[in-house]
């Protein structure tokens, strides 16, 4: 092997080193150039948009509005007062005209007619025997007295059977039109005090408004004025019955209805207002004039505390208030703020 001179060896080493450095630099040139750290641009904070309404002086009213229906003022609710057994038939339908004494429904009598006839025969036999005893022994004879007691006993039994038959028939107590029929089928058991048929007198009608609950009628009293709208024409009315003034009833259906209903008498109601006709009604239960009023969305409540937020310059300020009438969309503020203050809505 030829031994290289020291000078030549140094040249070769220098060339090799230059090649390595050049290759390294070439490889580095493929990497992305690191970007300089840049400061983010300054962003202006978003200004809060507030829904602000000024408190004002106005008239506020708490009222009940809804749709009422004309019903008969004279209504006969027909029901059995004792368990009546199985239904045979309901003999009327909606809209039928019924006379007092008409049978509207019947239940099974368990062969009572046969028993009644047998009892009538037994009474006739006792009568014949009684007459023979009087003829043979005279009216003062003990045997005659026994026949009298037999006669009385047989007649009492006959009366009891006749009462059972009478109780199996539901009879109209007055003339009227059928406005309700319970959808019972033949063979179903008939409970005591279950409303079967309702008869209504079409010549005497009043408006009835039924709320979802008794609480919805709070504040309504007898003789309050009622604005009544029938076919775009206004009429005046008066409250004549409230849940408090309604007479108690042993019929649960009637009692439940009375507990959440108003009865309204309409003055000069149109002649075409009949049972089933409807009308819009408005009853004002409270009203105040020239008071401070704000939207209900401006009143805030927390843990029994009523307060509002007012705009004070550029900041909010909480103020405790005393509320008055609370209507559908507005609320009266009795203490805490005055008209003109800017109230921040609670949206």
CATH superfamily of 65-75+202-286: Efflux pump adaptor protein, beta barrel domain (2.40.30.170)
What does the pLDDT read at residue 64? 93
**What is the distance, to the nearest Å, from the Cα of residue 3 to the centroid of all Cα atoms in its chain?**
116
What does the pLDDT read at residue 38? 61
Question: How many other C-beta atoms lie within 10 A of the C-beta of residue 1?
Answer: 3
Q: Confirm if 208 and 262 have CB atoms less than 8 A apart.
A: yes
Tokens of 228: 């009544």
Tokens of 329: 């969309």
Q: Confirm if 258 and 244 have CB atoms less than 8 A apart.
A: no
What does the pLDDT read at residue 265? 94
pLDDT per residue as tens digits for the range 169-225: 889 988 899 989 999 888 898 888 888 999 998 888 899 999 998 899 989 999 999
For the sheet with 75-79, list strands across it: 75-79, 195-200, 176-181, 97-98
Residue 24 phi/psi, 5-degree rounding, is: -65, -45
What does the pLDDT read at residue 46? 62
Helices (H), 138-171: 142-167
pTM given for the model: 0.56
Distance CA 205, CA 269 (A): 10
Q: Which residues contact 241 (CB under 8 A, 6 or more apart)?
A: 222, 258, 261, 262, 263
In CATH terms, 52-60+289-344 corresponds, of 1.10.8.50, 2.40.420.20, 3.40.50.2300, 2.20.25.90, to: 2.40.420.20
The CATH number of 76-107+168-201 is 2.40.50.100
Distance CA 198, CA 88 (A): 18
Residue 218 phi/psi, 5-degree rounding, is: -60, 135
**Regions of the chain short of the pLDDT cut 70:** 1-40, 43-48, 139, 166
What does the pLDDT read at residue 25? 46
What does the pLDDT read at residue 202? 86
């Amino acid at each position: 092997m030829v031994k290289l001179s020291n000078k030549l060896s140094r040249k070769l080493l220098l060339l090799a080193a230059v090649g390595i450095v050049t290759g390294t630099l070439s490889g580095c040139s493929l990497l992305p150039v690191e970007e300089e750290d840049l400061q983010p641009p300054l962003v202006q904070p978003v200004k809060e948009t507030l829904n602000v309404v000024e408190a004002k002086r106005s008239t506020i009213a708490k009222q009940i509005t809804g749709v009422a229906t004309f019903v008969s003022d004279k209504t006969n609710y027909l029901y059995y007062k004792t368990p009546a057994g199985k239904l045979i038939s309901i003999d009327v339908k909606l809209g039928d005209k019924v006379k007092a004494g008409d049978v509207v429904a019947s239940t099974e009598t368990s062969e009572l007619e046969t028993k009644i006839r047998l009892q009538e025969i037994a009474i006739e036999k006792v009568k014949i025997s009684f007459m023979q005893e009087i003829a043979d022994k005279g009216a003062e004879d003990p045997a005659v007295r026994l026949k009298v007691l037999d006669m009385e006993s047989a007649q009492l039994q006959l009366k009891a059977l006749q009462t059972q038959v009478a109780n199996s028939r539901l009879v109209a107590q007055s003339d009227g039109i059928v406005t309700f029929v319970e959808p019972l089928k033949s063979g179903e058991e008939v409970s005591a005090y279950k409303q079967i048929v309702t008869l209504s007198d079409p010549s005497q009608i009043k408006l009835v408004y039924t709320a979802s609950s008794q609480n919805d009628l709070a504040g309504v009293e007898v003789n309050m004025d009622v604005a009544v709208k029938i076919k775009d024409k206004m009429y005046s009315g008066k409250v004549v019955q409230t849940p408090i003034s309604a007479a108690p009833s042993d019929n649960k259906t009637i009692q439940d209805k009375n507990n959440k209903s108003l009865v309204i008498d309409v003055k000069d109601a149109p002649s075409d207002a009949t049972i089933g006709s409807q009308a819009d009604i408005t009853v004002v239960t409270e009203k105040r004039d020239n008071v401070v009023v704000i939207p209900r969305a401006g009143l805030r409540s927390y843990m029994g505390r009523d307060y509002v937020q007012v705009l004070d310059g550029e900041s909010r300020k909480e103020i405790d208030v005393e509320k008055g009438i609370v209507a559908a969309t507005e609320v009266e503020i009795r203490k805490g703020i005055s008209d003109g203050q800017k109230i921040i809505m609670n949206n």
